[in-house]
């Protein structure tokens, strides 16, 4: 219900900090689909913090990856081709 409260407070921007932490895989998928729906249908920009790099690359249009000595900002497609993606996604690039 926190997502509903956040949506009531904004018209164009939604900030989420680890919104799927602690959710089971089915609920996680449903939450990501809900976030995508809010983004596409309601034209709300979503900025989300996530440690789940695979899902971030799968759902996001843009990626900001902050590491100790590494920084990347670009499209998800550009990220997939980056050195960081090779390191963090390994052979499982999406």
Domain that holds residue 11: 1-49
**Does one domain contain both 68 and 33?**
no
What b/e sequence results for 27-58 when a residue is b if at least 16 CB atoms lie within 10 Å of its CB, and e otherwise?
ebeeebeebeebbeeeebebebebeebebbbe
| Full pLDDT tens readout for the chain, 94 residues | 566 666 666 668 889 999 999 999 999 999 999 999 999 998 889 999 998 888 889 999 999 998 888 899 999 999 999 988 888 887 555 5
Residue 4 has a pLDDT of 62
**Does one domain contain both 69 and 45?**
no
Give the number of domains in the chain.
2
Residue 9 has a pLDDT of 65
**Does one domain contain both 7 and 30?**
yes
Residue 34 has a pLDDT of 93
pTM reported for the whole predicted model: 0.74
**Does one domain contain both 34 and 63?**
no
């Amino acid at each position: 219900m926190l997502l509903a409260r956040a949506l009531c407070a904004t018209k164009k921007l939604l900030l989420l900090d680890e919104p799927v932490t602690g959710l089971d895989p089915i609920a996680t998928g449903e939450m990501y689909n809900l976030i995508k729906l809010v983004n596409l249908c309601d034209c709300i920009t979503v900025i989300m913090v996530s440690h789940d790099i695979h899902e971030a690359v799968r759902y996001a249009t843009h990626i900001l990856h902050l590491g100790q000595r590494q920084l990347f900002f670009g499209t998800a497609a550009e990220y997939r081709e980056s050195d960081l993606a090779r390191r963090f996604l390994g052979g499982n690039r999406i």
